[in-house]
Structure 1
Amino acid sequence: MPAICNSEKNPVFSRPLALSMLAAPLLVAAAPAPAPELAQVQQHLKGISTMTADFTQEDRNGRVVTGVLTLKQPGKIRFQYEKGVPQLIVADGKSLYFIDYQVRQVQRWPTGNSPLRVLLDPGRDISGYAQVKPTADSRVISVEIHDPKHPEYGRITMVFQKDGTAPAGLKLQGWVALDAQNNRTTIRLASQRFNGPVADSAFRWNDPRTQVRTH
């Protein structure tokens, strides 16, 4: 798992969940999931052409950073962290990038090699590598992505709340990552807005290695 930052230089920012999702190969072959709930999750994901949300990220030590998430189908996502956090995560429809402006480094992954594909490729059948987990609240659906053949990949659990105003009656509330060392990172979403206008320019970024705008 690549490091997200130099913790000595930036101690508030440690292993964001988004990057935890980037480095693992696409997970497969989880146990069968209850069809109705998983089908509803699939319909929700298919019903999102764009989404924006505020997010709060908490690491295993309780340290918190905030930012704005922007999603546009097909295959585009941006995690814009708060001022003072010199990192950025962007998918441009083909590749997923982690940009560290502090050390002027860029890392790249194919979009399809990440569990973020659940969000970026909603047409894909997720039943082969996801299962619904029981919750104490009937209004909440929890979907776990985990490959038991590769425990080193850890676990990612996405949480949806039933909401009649959202696509397919669900609203993505966030997700939790637990790595092979039992380090937990949590993303919570708020102020979710669906299917509004989002320009393709939202997924452009400045390359710190050259200081020119890329596409």
Structure 2
Amino acid sequence: MTSPLTGRAFAAIFAAPIAIVAPAVAQTGDIAAVQSHLRSVESMTANFTQTDRSGKTLTGKLTLKKPGKIRFQYEKGVPILIVGDGKALNFIDYSVKQLSRWPIGNSPLGVLIDPRRDIRQYAKVIPSANPDVLSVEAYDPKKPEFGRITMIFARNAGAPAGLMLQGWVALDAQNNRTTIRLSNQRFNAPISDGAFRFNDPRRSGRPG
């Protein structure tokens, strides 16, 4: 079985501060399109595949609900759970009964789960050879130790605001790359708040 996501890898993907980068004038239309997509999505479910630098993969299901809620449920047999409960991102390792928390406001995932965010304040569009692809990067050049994360969208007339989130790529300060790919995305269906509850591993060994 492939190795589960480590706490360090979790921090590299989800806990790097948002970059404050003003986009170029030529990017204004694409930035506006991405902003429109993000504001159009109230909820989302998708299957995900996570690939680390050695090529090992894990799969699972992503569930998102604004504001502030997101859940990464890994495949059976992986004792890891990641949940944003509206206040913090929780990284749970049931194998060692450990819980770590990061403020949602310090995470690039805030782009996806905070409808108040204006992406023009902390992200920029990266040029792509494929006109049907938009890549949005969050990176703080003054703090390279936090690494960078790039979200990837595809133009799709059937998706909210004509864009489909395909996944993201995280690169830490040691150039360790982790890729998340999404499939079977579904938008704006009702999702119960109960989907973002979990068992505290310090009190229970049962995955939530």
TM-score, normalising length from structure 2? 0.92
> Is it true that 1:197 corresponds to 2:187 in the alignment?
no
Q: 1:153 corresponds to which letter in structure 2?
A: F
CA contact (8 A) 2:18 2:140 kept: no
Equivalences, count: 205
CA contact (8 A) 1:55 1:188 kept: yes
| 2:48 equivalent in structure 1 | 55
Q: 2:20 corresponds to which letter in structure 1?
A: V
Q: 1:29 corresponds to which letter in structure 2?
A: V
Q: Whole-Å Cα distance in 2 between the matches of residues 55 and 36 of structure 1?
A: 29
Q: Secondary structure at the match of 1:115?
A: coil
After TM superposition, give the deviation of residue 22 of structure 1 in Å. 3.0
Residue of 12, 21, 39 corresponding to 1:20: 12
Q: Which consecutive residues of structure 2, in runs of 5 or more, have no partner in the other structure?
A: none
Alignment of 1:72-151 (within 5 A): 72-151=65-144
Q: Whole-Å Cα distance in 1 between the matches of residues 58 and 183 of structure 2?
A: 14
| 2:204 equivalent in structure 1 | 211
CA contact (8 A) 1:98 1:107 kept: yes
Q: 1:23 corresponds to which letter in structure 2?
A: A
Structure 1 segments of 4+ aligned residues over 6 angstroms from their partners: none
| 1:4 equivalent in structure 2 | none
Change (3 A) 1:155 1:70: same
Q: 2:131 corresponds to which letter in structure 1?
A: S
TM-score, normalising length from structure 1? 0.89
Could you say what the CA RMSD is over the residues aligned between the two structures, in angstroms? 2.0
Change (3 A) 1:26 1:189: same
After TM superposition, give the deviation of residue 26 of structure 1 in Å. 3.1
Q: Which consecutive residues of structure 1, in runs of 5 or more, have no partner in the other structure?
A: 1-9
Q: Whole-Å Cα distance in 1 between the matches of residues 190 and 51 of structure 2?
A: 29
The superposition leaves residues 21-80 of structure 1 with CA deviations (integer Å, 9 ceiling, x where unpaired) of: 333233323554611001100110100010000000000000000000000011100000
| 1:7 equivalent in structure 2 | none
> Is it true that 1:175 corresponds to 2:135 in the alignment?
no
Q: Whole-Å Cα distance in 2 between the matches of residues 68 and 124 of structure 1?
A: 25
Q: Secondary structure at the match of 1:205?
A: coil
Q: Secondary structure at the match of 2:199?
A: strand
Change (3 A) 1:171 1:140: same
